[in-house]
Amino acid sequence: QLQVQESGPGLVKPSETLSLTCIVSGDSISSSDYYWGWIRQPPGKGLEWIGTIYYSGTTFYNPSLKSRVTISVDTSKNQFSLRLSSVTAADTALYYCARLPHRGYSFMDVWGKGTTVTVSS
């Protein structure tokens, strides 16, 4: 059974870089069938897609975050990562990683439990 799990610091200072990792277990991240992505949810609010990556390194980013976001993949560790630079309080959210089973643009069929990131000094 495929599982994905987020990890990373729960507290980040304003203007610094948020870094999270998603560990994939139960399947290879290099499977040609899947993409992998990050989605966030501010407290009490809705869902926002951050970006998606393929094992080859192909990425799609939300234009609203594109200048600050980098998503990378490490196939040797079966994980992918999110970096969000110059964070502000508006980046405080529950961050989810997920699997996207359809090439390119897709829905998300497996989600992690999420990790809360608070931006505060």
What does the binding site for other proteins look like in residue numbers (CB under 8 A)?
A: 46-49, 52, 60, 62-64, 96, 102, 105-109, 111-114
Q: Smallest distance, Å, CB 106 to other proteins?
A: 5
Distance CA 4, CA 105 (A): 19
Q: Smallest distance, Å, CB 60 to other proteins?
A: 5
Question: Would you say 75 or 106 has its CB closer to other proteins?
Answer: 106
4 DSSP β-pair partners: 24
Helix (H) or strand (E) run with residue 53 in it: strand 48-53
Nearest to 42 by CA among 90, 84, 97: 90
Q: Smallest distance, Å, CB 78 to other proteins?
A: 20
